[in-house]
Amino acid sequence: MYSELDGCISVDSAPHGSFCEGKGCRRHAEQRLTVIGGGYHNVNGLYCYSCGEEFARMIKNIVGILALEAKKHSLCPLTR
Ligand SMILES: [Zn+2]
């Protein structure tokens, strides 16, 4: 399920052999997540799938109020 906010986090493949930046996580990174726009623009990290979900959830919590507002306009809340 995707919301408008999901478009604010860009997902790329992690470089081969890189490791997850999740706390206490020593797995190989599967993806690089980058926040697009706003005060967190270009905040990014390499994560395995489960830590990546945590990262996305954290970002969504931070901008949750903005997201509600953005829904009215179908805009990414971080690009304003
Ligand atoms: Zn991890």
Name the CA radius of gyration of the chain, rounded.
13
CA of 78 to the centre of ligand 1 (A): 25
Per-residue pLDDT tens for 5-19?
555 788 999 999 999
* Structure tokens that stand for 9 in this block: 């986090």
Give per-residue pLDDT as tens, 15-66: 999 999 999 999 999 999 998 866 777 889 999 999 999 998 888 787 765 6
User: What's the CA-to-centroid distance between 50 and ligand 1, angstroms?
Assistant: 6
Q: Is the pTM for the entire model greater than 0.75? A: no
CA–centroid distance, 27 to ligand 1, in Å, is 6
From 62, 7, 9, 54, select the one nearest 34 (Cα to Cα): 9
